[in-house]
Amino acid sequence: MSTRELVQDHAVVRRIRDVAQRCSDRLYAGDSISLEEIEVISVVIEEFVDAFHHGKEEKAYFPASEDKNEMYAEEVRKFRIEHEFGRRVAKMMQRSLKEWKRGVDGREPVARFLKTYAAFVTDHTGKEEKFFEEIERAKSLSEEEDRELLRHYETCRKEAGGSVRIEELLRLVSYLEERPWMK
């Protein structure tokens, strides 16, 4: 169940990826997208993907799985490095967006970082899901470990602002998906 929850998160993360990719494409095409809507993308990436989802993986799932065998430990190390890469891309996009809001044309760097983030999500979630399948196939986590992970996930949810904030972030993803530039 704990693994399935992470896979369910990935479905949302891929929706965010699609928004980031479409926004990038439209910016490169010269279309006008409000800076506030790009800022919403940034908030959703920071709060849902990084703080909430990656938080569950880094604080709970990875520590529980990396001790199972050396292969898992090496995969977890790579995933942590990739999470840091995603954070850095998101931060560079935020910096470029702030510059743009101050009057420096940030269209190209924002578009580039959104495109890079979308590519990262595609690659990263695919690799993680193969890892999750291996954990489940090998039955590497006991029922008690699984229950403990779910308790840790609840702590991560509270740290991310609670269920109300997570629901609000999901509504923001839906809001972004309905923007005219997404059509």
Q: What is the pLDDT along the chain (183 residues), one digit of tens a residue?
A: 899 999 999 999 999 999 999 999 999 999 999 999 999 999 999 999 999 999 999 999 999 988 887 889 999 999 999 999 999 999 999 999 999 999 999 999 999 999 999 999 999 999 999 999 999 999 999 999 999 999 999 999 999 999 999 999 999 999 999 999 999
The size of the chain, in residues, is 183
Q: What angle do CA 51, 79, 90 make, to 5 degrees?
A: 45
pTM of the model: 0.96
Q: Are 74 and 27 in contact (CB under 8 A)?
A: no
Nearest to 23 by CA among 113, 121, 103, 96: 113
SS3 33: coil
Question: What Rg value do the Cα atoms of the chain yield, rounded?
Answer: 17
**Rounded Cα gap, residues 66 and 61, in angstroms:** 9
69 alpha carbon, distance to own chain's centre:
26
Are the C-beta atoms of 55 and 160 separated by less than 8 Å?
yes
CATH number of 2-182: 1.20.120
Q: Comparing C-alpha atoms, which of 60, 41, 46 is closest to residue 3? A: 60
Domain boundaries, the chain: 2-182
